[in-house]
Amino acid sequence: MSSLNRRAILIGASPNANPIPSVYSDVARWSAFLLSSPGGAWREEEIVQLTDCDRNALRNAVSTSAGVHYSLVVFAGYGKLVKGKLPWDEAQVTLRNGDSVAERELNPGTPSCTLIFDCWASVIEERGADSSERGNPRDLDRDSAKYRALYDQSVMAAESGLAKVYALAQDGVAAPNETFSQHLLAIASRWAADNHGVLSLQEGVSLAAEARSNQRVEYHGGRRLRHFPLAVRI
């Protein structure tokens, strides 16, 4: 059995002043993908889903990552990169009540961590998901323990530290029917249906970025040579 401790925090924020209905389906898609074998066979108790939470609930959720080795935090909603107290730009996101939350408040500070910001500055229309986006292209659950072990091995093989993904709205471009999260998870599912091994986060984001003209997609993995996994297939 794997001994790697994990925590995923999936956040969807739809502000009262300008709702984004698709954040709810994005959170659900991420949860379904992580629970699937290609997504790493996460366990339900390792996943925290937050929709329309306030700052206190957000902080409480982030605090549950104490003692965890690898954490994954995904935010879907409004956000942008801003210059703050740090010497580099960081994400600033908006909660339901209009409060702004800085990227560092979402960082659990675990030894290994991935932060993904899927952010827009205009309303996104809701769209139903087809089977290719649900994260489990085949019936692989019978081997979920092996998939989980491969995912854990890939995390442990990667250099520790923080990896960040920013998918940000381009100025003057309307939001599409498909969000970056939907597109990224669809790519991961198609990869798992046709390949074996590990699809790294870097590779998955690169494939997703190639097809995005309405969002600026940036991957910040530092100087690591080995990247955290996005999908696995035995």
Strands (E), the chain: 6-12, 47-51, 70-83, 89-94, 100-102, 112-120, 161-169, 197-200, 215-220, 229-233
Which pLDDT belongs to residue 214? 74
CATH code, domain with 159: 3.40.50.1460
Nearest 5 degrees, angle CA 13-CA 167-CA 18?
35
Burial state string for 86-108 with b = 16 or more CB within 10 A and e = fewer than 16:
eeeebbbbbbbeeeebebeebbb
Average pLDDT over residues 29-38: 97
Least confident of 2-16, 28-42, 60-74, 167-181: 167-181
Confidence of residue 109 (pLDDT cuts 50, 70, 90): very high
Average pLDDT over residues 136-159: 82
Domain presence at residue 17: yes
Chain centroid to CA 50: how far?
Answer: 13
Average pLDDT over residues 3-12: 94
Structural domain harbouring 160: 6-233
Q: What is the pLDDT of residues 44-56, one digit of tens each?
A: 999 999 999 999 9
Which pLDDT belongs to residue 226? 97
pLDDT at residue 62 is higher than 90: yes
What percent of the chain has pLDDT above 70? 85
Domain presence at residue 1: no
What is the pLDDT of the chain when averaged over all its residues?
A: 87
pLDDT at residue 81 is higher than 50: yes
Domain presence at residue 54: yes
Which pLDDT belongs to residue 133? 40
Domain presence at residue 208: yes
Give every CB contact of residue 228 below 8 A, 6+ residues apart in sequence: 70, 112, 114, 154, 155, 158, 163, 200, 201
Average pLDDT over residues 217-229: 94
Average pLDDT over residues 23-34: 96
The pTM for the full model equals 0.89
Which pLDDT belongs to residue 177? 64
Domain presence at residue 23: yes
| Overall number of domains in the chain | 1
Domain presence at residue 229: yes
Q: 26 with 50: CB under 8 angstroms? A: no
pLDDT at residue 147 is higher than 50: yes
Domain presence at residue 57: yes
